[in-house]
Copies of this chain bind each other. A is one copy, B any other.
Amino acid sequence: MKALENLFDRIVQRVNINLRELEFDVNPLVKDLVPFKQLVKFYAFYGITPHHLLDFQFKHSNLAGSYFLGKCSVTNSMLYKSDIRGDELKKKGDVFRYQDFEIPVSADEGIEIEDSFLIKTLVHNFSHDPETLEKFSINSTISTHYANIHGSPTDGSFLGPFSTVDLTTMNDCVIGAYSYIQAGEINHLNIGPGTIWIRSPENFNFFYRYPQQKLSHYIHFSAGQWPQGLFIDFVEDRKQAFQRIFNRVDIGPSVPVPSSASLDRFAVIKPKTRIGENVLVSQRAFLQNTHMGKGANAQEHCYIINSRLKGFNVTAHGAKIIEADLGQNVFVGFNSFLRGRPDCRLTIGDDSIVMPHTIIDIIKPLRIPAGHMVWGLITNGDELEANSIPLSALSKINGSFTKGNMLFEGNGNSFKAAFQERIQHILEANGAFYDGSQCEGHAQKNQNISFNMIQPYPEGKLEGVYPTIRIQP
């Protein structure tokens, strides 16, 4: 166990050195978060298919329960039940378009994680930084429960629970719990909890901050204890269901799956669930009594319960949808928490956009009309009114605009278009538009994956540390 403890200390020290200017000490926040003994018991696993770049290297690391798909190297790091998805890595010879540049990719892109500690973090590599096309790196970074590092190379940073950095290159920053940052590039910032910040320099700037007291009911994180709140209780309550799935080497689907769809063998599917054509259900997703219409997807760590999704729905990493009816083309962003009740359902009309990190938690029925964008905390009709805008109205904004806690500056149409393009890309990448021969995506390419399960040294001074493993074609 000694090697594992040394590794942890090394990572904490590296992160603290990077964050010294912010006078931020990660040690009290993370010192009790590591169940060293449990780390030895979990197996990590990596996927092998002919469709993904095969080049894994694991060295002097602990990978407890983590999942890897696509080229990845992990050195001196602890990855505890994190998902590392490299299935959108750029390939040698690709041409990357950025503003007016056309940049040829000179080598197969790879994910490199070094001196980092990720707890239940989702890493998805779809990266946009034109400066580092061939390398997606996460260095000297600690990321806690259910955070998302999405297309965001990070260096020397700390991510609080349920936070997301998305398409952002980040250096020496602290991201508070449940904050969502999509800002191109950020440095030396300490961002408080519940901050939603979407910026495209010279185009737009969207800013919302959750009322802190209300947010702490859902998620609260402070030194010396595990993250607290409803979000944590919600996932903990459903932990058992995953156990059965992880205990078995091979497991068949429990519901019919169309030949154009894919249901990951590490997803939980409870009774009365229906999977439509071109549907993608990713690992560690949880579906219960839910209908997934054609082209809908349920991404990693998302929970969809007693709900109907009409089709071409995106349910992004970590989003939860309970007792809800979603129209066609509805987008639900990262880590959103949408909770209707059996006697008062949540209804969302076609083409609406639920911004990342939105909480809708109602005790009376609520209907979001078609073509709306919603954000922030919504518990009733009044709050919906304050935290939403018709997309048609959004596209007319040019300048400064405030509504409730939200501040918007810039071009509304460009903001709307950026979202819609992104949603289109997600649906395409996930194979929602597959027609039997064209437009293949993850739903088709991820149907047949070999999972290789690996464990660390079971005892001795290297207990908990994985041997050096290199996998190549």
Q: Which residues of A approach B to under 8 Å, CB–CB?
A: 43, 48-50, 54, 246-250, 448-462, 467-473
Choose one: B458, B467, B472; the contact of A467 (CB below 8 Å). B472
Choose one: B250, B449, B450, B455; the contact of A247 (CB below 8 Å). B250
Known interface pairs A246-B249, A458-B450; A54-B470 also in contact (CB < 8 Å): no
Measured between alpha carbons, how far is A246 from B473 in the docked complex, in Å? 26
Contact A48 B452 (CB under 8 A): no
Measured between alpha carbons, how far is A451 from B43 in the docked complex, in Å? 9
Measured between alpha carbons, how far is A460 from B448 in the docked complex, in Å? 10
Residues of B within 8 A of A469 (CB): 469-471
Residues of B within 8 A of A249 (CB): 43, 246-249, 453
Listed residue (A248, A453, A461) with the most chain B CB atoms within 10 angstroms of its CB: A453
The smallest C-beta distance from A451 to any residue of chain B, in angstroms, reads 7
Residues of B within 8 A of A455 (CB): 48, 450-452
Contact A459 B448 (CB under 8 A): yes
List the B residue with the shortest CB-CB distance to A455: B450
Contact B453 A448 (CB under 8 A): no
Measured between alpha carbons, how far is A232 from B454 in the docked complex, in Å? 33
Contact B50 A459 (CB under 8 A): yes
List the B residue with the shortest CB-CB distance to A473: B467
The smallest C-beta distance from A59 to any residue of chain B, in angstroms, reads 9
Identify 8 new A-B residue pairs, CB closer than 8 A, beyond the known A48-B455, A468-B470, A468-B473. Answer: A48-B467, A49-B457, A49-B459, A50-B459, A450-B456, A468-B471, A469-B469, A470-B470
Contact A462 B248 (CB under 8 A): no
Contact B461 A471 (CB under 8 A): no
Known interface pairs A468-B471, A471-B469; A458-B248 also in contact (CB < 8 Å): no
The smallest C-beta distance from A392 to any residue of chain B, in angstroms, reads 46
Contact B454 A448 (CB under 8 A): no
Contact A449 B454 (CB under 8 A): no
Listed residue (A54, A248, A458, A473) with the most chain B CB atoms within 10 angstroms of its CB: A458
Contact B462 A471 (CB under 8 A): no
Measured between alpha carbons, how far is A462 from B52 in the docked complex, in Å? 13
Contact A458 B448 (CB under 8 A): yes
Residues of B within 8 A of A247 (CB): 248-250
List the B residue with the shortest CB-CB distance to A465: B473
Contact A458 B49 (CB under 8 A): yes
Contact A48 B449 (CB under 8 A): no
Measured between alpha carbons, how far is A250 from B448 in the docked complex, in Å? 23
Residues of B within 8 A of A43 (CB): 249, 452-453
Measured between alpha carbons, how far is A453 from B45 in the docked complex, in Å? 9
* 30 sampled A-B residue pairs with Cβ under 8 A: A43-B452, A43-B453, A48-B457, A48-B458, A49-B459, A50-B457, A50-B460, A50-B461, A50-B462, A247-B249, A248-B248, A248-B249, A249-B249, A448-B458, A448-B459, A450-B455, A450-B456, A450-B457, A452-B452, A452-B455, A453-B454, A467-B472, A467-B473, A468-B472, A468-B473, A469-B469, A469-B470, A469-B471, A470-B470, A470-B471
The smallest C-beta distance from A328 to any residue of chain B, in angstroms, reads 32
Residues of B within 8 A of A248 (CB): 247-249
Measured between alpha carbons, how far is A456 from B448 in the docked complex, in Å? 11
3 tightest Cβ-Cβ pairs between the two chains A and B? A50-B460, A450-B455, A453-B453
List the B residue with the shortest CB-CB distance to A251: B247
The smallest C-beta distance from A37 to any residue of chain B, in angstroms, reads 14
